[in-house]
Chains A and B, each alone.
Chain A
Amino acid sequence: MSKVMSMKEAIAANVRSGDFLFIGGYVCRTPFSAIHEIIRQRITDLTITRSNAADDFDMMIGAGCVKRFIATFLSLGVYGLGRCFRRSLEKGIPRKIEIEEYTNLALPMMLMAGAMGMPFVPIRDMAGSDLLKVKSFMGEDKYKLIDSPFDGRPTILVPALNPDVGIIHVQQADEFGNAQMWGIGGDCMYGANASKKVIVSCERIVSRETVGKDPSRTIVPGSKVVAVVEEPYGSHPGYTPGFYDADFSFGYLYQQASNTEEGFKAFLDEWVYGMEDRTAYIQHYIQKFGYEAYKKLGAEFDYGFPVSYAY
């Protein structure tokens, strides 16, 4: 049965206030279209997670969607610190989020454990740092320090995570949800598979037969997927390998806007609340910056040798 629907339908049917969300992406394939829809539908009290969060998480925090953040990092990269993230933690604007802090080894391993059905996972980092001293909403369950039952060495155990919903943006998927991704992975594959259900946003919907021509690229099997949304340029201003480049000018525009509460509100009004959907967003982009600017983001084509799975 086809799971293809609009982003509005996918979010309305699957994301509730108070849910725990994994949101994939690493500048690469940020599911921005889904994030804008969550903000538009005024979903709140979310717990969100991903390693190396950026402008997308900053925006959700600023928009007041987030109660809790299982984090490793949040920054706007070359543009500097996340302004909404800072306002939240320094001044409680629009609310002070609760933050539980891990690392880019620990958190991906916790998602991997979740995906594998493991209850917890031992890790070799975080030791000796103040990350062990600060505990938020996870309390004593943030980690356990034990002597390894095998060699007696001090070992940190961290719990598996199983988000209610995983949201990812990939290059292509079929109507059943078999999702195919290439390029920088971040924690996308484990995060999605750790989630109880998955919303797949993609640049293009392809046939089941096309998926079968290169099945090693599938990172989530359709059986875990509840919605497939075709959203060209769905991760703008992030990028999707083979489709379009990161929009560095827009990243700067967001940083400048989010510098102040007023600027951030105006940004949301213009680019999120004022837009019906992703199509309207792209049209607005073209009207504002011109077709040339839009076209310039498009990737060149550089195909490799086709792979064959024949026997």
Chain B
Amino acid sequence: MSRIWVWAELQDGKPQRVALELLTRARELGEAEAIALGGGAAAAVERLGEHGARRVYVHDDPVYDQYIAEPIVETLGTLIAEYQPAVVMFGESYSARDVVTRLAARLGAGIASNATAIDLVDGQLRLTVPWLGGAIIGTATVTNHGPKLVYLKAKSYEAAPNGGAAEVVQVSTSVPASARRARVVESVVQAAEGVKLEEARVIVSGGRGLQGPENFGMLDELAGLFGGAVGATRAVVDAGWKPYSYQIGQTGKTVKPDLYIACGISGAIQHTVGMKGAKTIVAINKDAEAPIFKFADFGIVGDVFKVVPQLIAEVKQRKAQG
């Protein structure tokens, strides 16, 4: 069986959820193996094994966290040359994009970017790739010789443990000085409070129609009633009303909550590509022609400043009545 690799990005020493999602898929396609580089790598083995990695290549040298992309590319390049995996999967993140692009140029490999599904048909890679913000769904393959690189969107698969245990392969490659260039001087956490957007079952999201950062308070209140989280569009983030961690869409997060309440959001494809997977969508917008109404399960054409406060009062009242 061919080796299917997943680069398991670590954050605070823990594997990112998307790596577990991809391993869940990788174990169906072949012999799933994970690569964990950086602080906490050894401790990550257990979770990666639980999600299907038969083997985890581990190196917990802090150099991988201290410099952007290049140390990881060096080591991945060496490991790929040695073990010749059929496919190397990367889950959507900033660092993954940095790593996969450099690596592709080094290997002369093609990349299918932003894929939402991966398959092997008679040994040929088949990728589902949404283009133009999801207006068109393409099927693509990668034709270079040797290992194929794939960059997949988060939430393409659901992470499901299968109770396995992984064998540890200790990596001892030393990273040359030439790869220690883009140095991380400081890391600053500006965490969004409360429930994480990616994990929220209910998301209340605001667009430019909210008119200013001061008006997001009512969205916080509404989300709070459902134990949910607040999101935002790119326009809101670019305007500086909310930090980037709130951004949903093409250049932000992909979310699939049970309920998505879009407030003052017109529904440009750059945004909807990140939230169309929601099970139920409710929209409030003053423009009856707003594209969001074309796929909302329930929509109110009206003023968010009137509708949202009334909705909050109604939800509170009905919850109190139990």
Q: Do A and B bind each other?
A: no
B residues whose Cβ falls under 8 Å from a Cβ of A: none
